[in-house]
Amino acid sequence: MAEIITADKLKKDILDDMRVELSDEFDKNFERKAFFTDAWKARKDPKANGSLLVVSGRMRRSIKGSVEGDGVRFTSDTSYATVHNEGGSGFVTVRQHQRKHYKTGKVYTVRSHQRRVNIPQRQFVGDGQRTQEIIRGVIDDNVKQFNASLSNFIRTNK
């Protein structure tokens, strides 16, 4: 006897599939160096280490998707993920440190100070046209599977 998919199971499957598909696509944004097709602004120092937004990979690995209520939520445990995703400006405290003079070799102490930072938006997670297309595709696939299950159930229980 064929088993029919319930509305709760259909909803759970849709949300789980959305979490998986969007997680994969948001991770690929780091490889694309773009939010789907919108390229990120280039960095000021072309000689800097690592790929754009990926030096150690910690922020990329920290992006986690979870099903909450009637939707999917993406979070990161890094303090800087939101600033990079949304952009922002402000002040950062530079700690006291040692510096060596390039000519004389004399070591001196640089006192703690504030530095102004302006970080451009380099979105890697969020809602957009491509996100909506992925969601529609996941829903369509699950509804087709539900219809096939329902047809099979009706055929076998005549």
**Using CB atoms within 10 A of its CB, is residue 29 exposed (0-12), middle (13-18) or buried (19+)?**
buried
Question: What domain count does the chain have?
Answer: 1
Query: Does residue 55 belong to any structural domain of this protein?
Result: yes
Closest CA to 137 of 11, 17, 34, 36: 17
Domain housing 66: 7-85+123-156
User: For position 55, what pLDDT does the model report?
Assistant: 78
Query: Does residue 41 belong to any structural domain of this protein?
Result: yes
User: For position 43, what pLDDT does the model report?
Assistant: 82
User: For position 127, what pLDDT does the model report?
Assistant: 93
User: For position 2, what pLDDT does the model report?
Assistant: 56
Tens of pLDDT, residue by residue, the chain (158 residues): 456 778 888 999 999 999 999 999 999 999 888 999 998 888 888 777 767 888 788 999 999 999 999 999 999 999 899 999 999 999 999 999 999 999 999 999 999 999 999 999 999 999 999 999 999 999 999 999 888 888 888 888 77
User: For position 133, what pLDDT does the model report?
Assistant: 95
Query: Does residue 97 belong to any structural domain of this protein?
Result: no
- Supply the pTM of this predicted model: 0.80
Query: Does residue 113 belong to any structural domain of this protein?
Result: no
Query: Which residues 6+ apart lie within 8 Å of 95 measured at CB?
Result: 112
C-alpha distance from residue 111 to each of 94, 96, 97, 107, 114 (Å): 8, 5, 7, 13, 10
User: For position 68, what pLDDT does the model report?
Assistant: 94
Query: Does residue 139 belong to any structural domain of this protein?
Result: yes
